[in-house]
Amino acid sequence: MEKALQLLRRIGMRSTYSGYNYLAYAVTLVLEHPDYLRNVTKTLYTKVGEEYGVTGYCVEAALRTLITNYWNLNSDKILKSVIGFPLFDKPTASELISILADYLRDQR
């Protein structure tokens, strides 16, 4: 999970949001189990929720809030330099999880 947290800091995510840790853990889980991306709501968010003692719906809402606030502050200015390609629209939570997991997988 440390690599995911380092990446989130590098792209300028704010750790003051509960979604910050949820996102780092979700990326870590996807690195270990890529098939979690096939059913994000029922599988991935549920696993993250179990780890933090919240529901999957709470995880989803926290991730949406984190991503929306990040996007409103930075658009893809910082993210583009890290992942190597521009994003023209705000990514969904599952898209961002996938992008970040792919980036970390490529760095291994």
Residue 94: per-residue pLDDT: 94
Tens-digit pLDDT profile for residues 1-19: 899 999 999 888 989 998 9
Closest residue by Cα to residue 100 from 62, 67, 58, 69 = 67
Tens-digit pLDDT profile for residues 40-84: 999 999 999 999 999 999 999 999 999 999 988 877 788 887 778
pTM above 0.85, yes or no: yes
102 vs 75: CA distance, rounded Å: 20
Summary mean pLDDT of the chain: 91
Q: What is the DSSP string of 41-75?
A: IIIIHHHHHHHHTS-HHHHHHHHHHHHHHHHHHHT
94 vs 91: CA distance, rounded Å: 8
6 vs 25: CA distance, rounded Å: 12
The domains found in the chain, sorted by start residue, are 2-107 (1.10.10.10)
